[in-house]
Structure 1
Amino acid sequence: MNKKIGIIAGVIVLIAIIAAVLVFTGVINTNGNTGPNDNVLVVGFDSEFPPYGYKDDKGEYVGFDLDLAQEVCNRNNWTLVKQPIDWDAKDSELSSGTIDCIWNGFTINGREDKYLWSKPYIDNKQVIVTKSNSGINSLSDLKGKQVETQKDSSALSALEGDQKPLADTFKQLVQIADYNTAFLDLDAGTCDAVAMDIGVAQYQVNSKSNPSDYKILDEEISSEQYGIGFKKGNEQLRDKIQQTLDEMEADGTIAKIASKYDSYGVPGSLIKNNNTTTNTTN
């Protein structure tokens, strides 16, 4: 009997030691919410979504959203980990805890109940890009044309939703993995137009050797708002990041960061959040 009691006591002690190690290393978070373990914030982003997140000529990940995240981390003494993700796998990355949030031109509209959201901070719209000599000057001119857009993008959602009547006039709506591929197809004549976010469109056009070879139609497909998506139940992390962003807006830091991306229309897309309350019920 004493031997059995000794074995049981030993097992209990071992379990206690393992649990303590897990808590200490951050594998178990004792505050009841998933947060930046060891003061490390892991931000998931699409590395081919300029000007919000992309790889520059030096091979470094940069962009407006990543700059915001870096400043938030600096103010909270956190370390930022920029984690590029497969956009199709973003939900599994978030739910598994591989990333702490999705922060990269992430559309709130249509996903309101799927994530815990920050306040919206960008007003965005979806547009059509085509070659200047294409003869396409309005959305109605897309009839019988081949149009490409990114998988799981806001433009695709619009063309499969409210703008489906427009998409039904296309010769074909093709889903591609990224917009670099779409512009290669546009240059090669494989497609006639690309449906995409205005900021990404401006970046792609302005980065070309001859930007005048392209045009962005004045007519928009749809509009939306960007926010930061967190796993439901993680109010503690969301609220801390939102508090820091509110401070950054008040002291002009967000506007200063946005000015770096003026050629992509970021400053004009900023939402003033001073009188907006965070939705804590998602």
Structure 2
Amino acid sequence: MSTIQAIVLAIVEGLTEFLPISSTGHMVMVSSLMGIGKEDFTKLFEVAIQFGAILAVVVLYWRKFINFKSWSFYFKLAIGVIPALVFGFVLGDKIDLLLMNPLYTALALLGGGFVLLFIDTIFYKVEIKEEKDITIKNALIIGLCQCAALIPGVSRSAASIIGGLQQKLSRKLAAEFSFFLAVPTMAAATIYKLFKAVKTNPDILNSGNIKLLMVGNIVAFVIAFLTMRFFVDFLKKHGFKVFGWYRIIAALIFLLMIKMNQIR
């Protein structure tokens, strides 16, 4: 992987991680187009640069994350992340098998697009507008919904936001709680994947690759920070339909690339 390729993938990560459009699907497409999709370091890189995206959430919402007077916030995040940790640990090997077949990712991307076309009309009632009003039950149900994203192509952001809307959170709060929940969820997944990769291949983190990871995380941080600010404002005004159409178009391109053997 070259530095330019690392920057491109980091930009894709930053743009797609917190939008409901599947970062996994986009990473697979872009890395395949660059001819590095099957490399072991590419798979590690795609996971490791999530640290940059996580840090962007903490910095953007630092008042929320560095507020030790409100332990209920941390407790709700802990409750919300438990389902993903349990199901992720139990189904980890099966999820890796799904990732080996890009067709499943493309179909999940397509199906999720059709779902987003109708979300605004299905979940339109709003009863919760502030994070402090989210209950433990709300957090748990949103966490359970997030587990759907264990299927490659579903999108963690989409699954958790839909869970929030189903629990009658406002669009803004559903998106923000999805960001908050991403921090422990992605941190756990990233650390676990890094541990497995280094255990399998101790030489994978050589000096050159470490430099690429540093560049990737910096770029992912900056792009994710800007994307989150845009997304919340856009969502309040326009809803999810545009993301649904985008997913459908991206999935059709994905399927065409598979048909042409550009992605294997």
Query: Does the TM-score normalized on the shorter chain lie above 0.5?
Result: no
Larger Rg, first or second structure (1 or 2) = 1
The structure in which a higher percent of residues are helix is 2
User: Structure 2 length normalisation: TM-score?
Assistant: 0.30
The structure in which a higher percent of residues are strand is 1
User: Structure 1 length normalisation: TM-score?
Assistant: 0.28
- Which structure would you say has the larger RCO, counting Cα contacts within 8 Å and 6 or more residues apart? 2
